[in-house]
Amino acid sequence: MTAMRKLSDRLSELADLKALQTLAGWDQLVMMPPGGAAGRVHQAGTLARILHDHATAPEIGELLAELEVGELPELERDVVRLARRDWERARRVPTDLAAELSKAHADGQESWQAARAADDFAAFAPALERNIELARAYGRCLDEEGRGVYQSLIDDFDFGLRTDELRRLFSELGSRLTPLVEEASARAAIEKPAVPREVQQRAVETIMARVGVDGESWRLDTSAHPFSASMARTDQRMTTRYEDGGIESLLSSLHEFGHALYELQIDPALDRTNLGAGTSMSIHESQSKLWENHVARHPAFATVLVEGLGAAGFEIGAGELHGALVAVAPSLIRVSADPLTYPLHIVLRFELELALIDGDLGVADLPAAWRDGVKRLLGLDVPSDALGCLQDVHWSEGAFGYFPSYAMGCLIAASMWEAMEREIGPRAEDLERGEVEPIKRWLGDRVHRHGRRLDTVPLVERATGTGLEVESFLRYVAPFAAV
């Protein structure tokens, strides 16, 4: 067997183990009865340990050393390049630290749940402190070039996306969006249509079928928080949730569709390699945001949405529905924010987590800093920590450097949408008929098929012809402030 064949077999094995990890996680959130919880913690722990052992095997290093001296075809060069990156990063983290991290994240989540329920930040503070300490230790292990601990954490989610670039973009975003928020806040709130749960469910099924969700390669289930999970390129599982009297499920199901379509349209030649997955959190989020913001919130696509609702027995005009989907109303909670204010929630979290990791902000001062930030960016008073710095799960699980991808997704989606319309023409006429094939083809060619072969920044540059920028997004949201 050649060295390349041996390496490929090992990488396929890792891909299989990751797919099983995805399955165990999906099952836990979607299918598992509560009685399975204790067992699943053990099963997931065992799988993670075995995956780590296989990912850090010395034999991979030997094969890489052998392959890196020779000439390889382009695809195999990418396989080796990413395998080297993944193997080095995995080996830099001592087993003891990995175990401590895993324990602290589990403890942190438990502590956070109780603290949020009791609106008691002080009860969560020690666990958060511990997570920050361990995140620094983890970041230092990965920080080979002295680029800073926070940069190392970012690299886990968006390899190569620079902290100073985020600083520049988010600062621009903050100063340019705040006046729009003020403008919008001066207007009367728009009442959202109260769509019954069963109607939403039937409408979502119809709408998903129109964008191409079939029983062959997809599932759509419900879970407490919508998410998507790729078991294999042609086995995409999405979830949504139906709350009585809302329309969120229309947006969230198309959001998850964007994630799943990305994985589905990766080049089949990358199946079971180390390249056969979405390249980063920001790009993944750009794909979900593209379908949520630019398709589901497109005035022309409202026709398709009202047809779906109508077939389920709920009558509403396309204009009225679209108005509700783009209504701007600053609010305290990130997950239910409108498309204009959403990135400001992220700007706040980015500023704070960067300061926490760098030691410029102490844990005890977080609640006050949060309140100041919400006032500055959204013009709102925060009445409690439960509605403030305790609202998100991320920091309790030790996920620092993850939040930025949510806002980057909004920006990149807007850049891509403009680039696409420049190339294949405005989408309004097609979207009114529910025709999304040209969009899927463009995304497939420019974004999806590459898998992990291109990192965030080069992928955006190739797909849009420009770098990371805020102007497209500002052009997208400006009209919502003036409605």
Q: Who's near 311: CB < 8 A, 6+ residues apart? A: 202, 203, 206
Q: Shortest Cβ distance from residue 103 to its own copies (Å)?
A: 17
Residue 233 binds to its own copies (criterion: CB under 8 A): yes
Among 3, 4, 19, 118, binds its own copies (CB under 8 A): 19
Q: For its own copies, how many residues bind (rule: CB under 8 A)?
A: 36
Q: Who's near 284: CB < 8 A, 6+ residues apart? A: 259, 262, 278, 405, 409
Q: How far apart are the first and last CA of the chain?
A: 65
| Token pair for 398 | 């030790």
Residue 117 binds to its own copies (criterion: CB under 8 A): no
Residue 33 binds to its own copies (criterion: CB under 8 A): yes
| Token pair for 132 | 């920050």
Among 118, 231, 311, 355, binds its own copies (CB under 8 A): 231
Between 163-185 and 471-482, two packed helices, what is the crossing angle to 10 degrees?
Answer: 10
Q: Who's near 222: CB < 8 A, 6+ residues apart? A: 30, 239, 240, 241, 242
Phi, psi of 445 (to 5 degrees): -75, -45
Residue 58 binds to its own copies (criterion: CB under 8 A): no
Among 58, 96, 215, 315, binds its own copies (CB under 8 A): 215
Q: Shortest Cβ distance from residue 222 to its own copies (Å)?
A: 14
Residue 223 binds to its own copies (criterion: CB under 8 A): no
Q: Three-class SS of residue 241?
A: coil
Nearer to its own copies, 3 or 30 (CB): 30
Among 3, 6, 29, 40, binds its own copies (CB under 8 A): 40
Among 24, 90, 125, 474, binds its own copies (CB under 8 A): 24
Residue 48 binds to its own copies (criterion: CB under 8 A): no
Residue 107 binds to its own copies (criterion: CB under 8 A): no
Residue 47 binds to its own copies (criterion: CB under 8 A): yes
DSSP 422-464: HHH--SHHHHHTT--HHHHHHHHHHTGGGTTSS-HHHHHHHHH
Residue 216 binds to its own copies (criterion: CB under 8 A): yes
Contacts for 455-458 with beta carbons within 8 Å, 24 or more apart? 455/158, 455/159, 455/160, 455/279, 455/280, 456/158, 456/159, 456/160, 456/161, 456/279, 456/280, 456/282, 456/283, 456/408, 457/160, 457/161
Residue 20 binds to its own copies (criterion: CB under 8 A): yes
Q: Shortest Cβ distance from residue 256 to its own copies (Å)?
A: 15
Of 190-198, 231-239, 327-335, 452-460: span binding its own copies (CB under 8 A):
231-239
Q: Which one of the listed residues 182, 205, 248, 256 is annotated catalytic?
A: 256
Q: 256 an active-site residue?
A: yes
Which residues between 254 and 283 bind its own copies (CB under 8 A)? 271-272
Place of tokens 């805020």: 470
Q: Three-class SS of residue 100?
A: helix
Residue 29 binds to its own copies (criterion: CB under 8 A): no
Active-site positions read 256
Q: Which residues bind its own copies (CB under 8 A)?
A: 12-13, 16-17, 19-20, 23-24, 27, 31-36, 38-40, 42-43, 45-47, 50, 215-219, 231-235, 271-272
